[in-house]
Chains A and B, each alone.
Chain A
Amino acid sequence: MMQADFDALWITLKLAGLTTLILLVLGTPLAWWLAQTRWRFKFFIEAIVALPLVLPPTVLGFYLLIALGPHGPLGGLMIWLGGQSLAFTFAGLVIGSVFYTLPFVVQPLQNAFAAMGSRPLEVAATLRASPMDRFLTIAVPLARPGFLTAAVLGFAHTVGEFGVVLMIGGNIPGETQVLSIAIYDHVEALEYGHAHWLSGGLLLLSFLLLISVYAFNKRFSVLRS
Chain B
Amino acid sequence: MSIEARFTISYNKFLLDVELHIPASGVTAIFGASGCGKTTVLRLMAGLIRTANGYLKVDDDIWQQDDVFVAPHCRAIGYVFQEANLFPHLNVRGNLEYGLKRVPLNARQLAFNDAVNLLGLSSLLERNPVNLSGGERQRVAIARALLTSPRLLLMDEPLSALDDASKNDILPFLERLHIELEIPVIYVSHSREEVARLADYLVLMEAGRVQATGPIAEMLTRVDLPFAHGDEAESIIEATVAGFDDEFNLTLLDFPGGRFCVSRKSVAIGQQVRLQILARDVSLTLEQQSGTSILNILQAKVLELSAEGVAQVMVKLDVGGVPVLSRITRKSAQGLDLHPGKNIFAQIKSVALLT
Given contacts A128-B99, A128-B102, A128-B103, contact A123 B88 (CB under 8 A): no
A144 to B83, CA, bound (A): 23
Cβ-defined contact, A128 with B73, below 8 A = yes
Contact residues in A for B89 (Cβ distance below 8 Å): 141-142, 144
Partner of A126, one of B79, B83, B103: B79
Cβ-defined contact, A129 with B102, below 8 A = yes
Cβ-defined contact, B87 with A120, below 8 A = yes
Contact residues in A for B46 (Cβ distance below 8 Å): 126
- Cβ-based interface call for A122 (8 A): yes
Band of interface residues on B: 20 to 34
Cβ-defined contact, B99 with A142, below 8 A = no
- Cβ-based interface call for B77 (8 A): yes
A127 to B99, CA, bound (A): 5
Cβ-defined contact, A123 with B85, below 8 A = yes
CB proximity of A174 to chain B, nearest CB, Å = 45
Give the nearest-CB partner of A224 in chain B. B88
Contact residues in A for B83 (Cβ distance below 8 Å): 119
Count residues on chain A whose CB falls below 8 Å from chain B CBs: 21
Cβ-defined contact, B48 with A127, below 8 A = no
User: How many residue pairs, one in A and one in B, have C-beta atoms under 8 Å apart?
Assistant: 62
CB proximity of A122 to chain B, nearest CB, Å = 5
- Cβ-based interface call for A130 (8 A): yes
Partner of A142, one of B79, B88, B145: B88
Cβ-defined contact, B88 with A126, below 8 A = no
A58 to B262, CA, bound (A): 89
Give the nearest-CB partner of B72 in chain A. A125
Given contacts A129-B73, A141-B89, contact A119 B81 (CB under 8 A): yes
A144 to B89, CA, bound (A): 10
CB proximity of A115 to chain B, nearest CB, Å = 13
Cβ-defined contact, B102 with A119, below 8 A = no
Contact residues in B for A119 (Cβ distance below 8 Å): 81, 83, 85
Cβ-defined contact, A223 with B130, below 8 A = yes
A: residues with CB less than 8 A from B are 119-120, 122-131, 133-134, 137-138, 141-142, 144, 223-224
Q: 18 A-B Cβ contacts within 8 A?
A: A119-B83, A120-B85, A123-B85, A125-B72, A126-B48, A126-B72, A126-B145, A127-B73, A127-B102, A127-B144, A127-B145, A128-B102, A129-B98, A130-B71, A130-B73, A134-B73, A137-B98, A224-B130
Which 8 residue pairs are nearest across A and B when measured between Cβ atoms? Answer: A127-B99, A126-B79, A128-B102, A125-B72, A141-B89, A123-B85, A125-B73, A128-B73
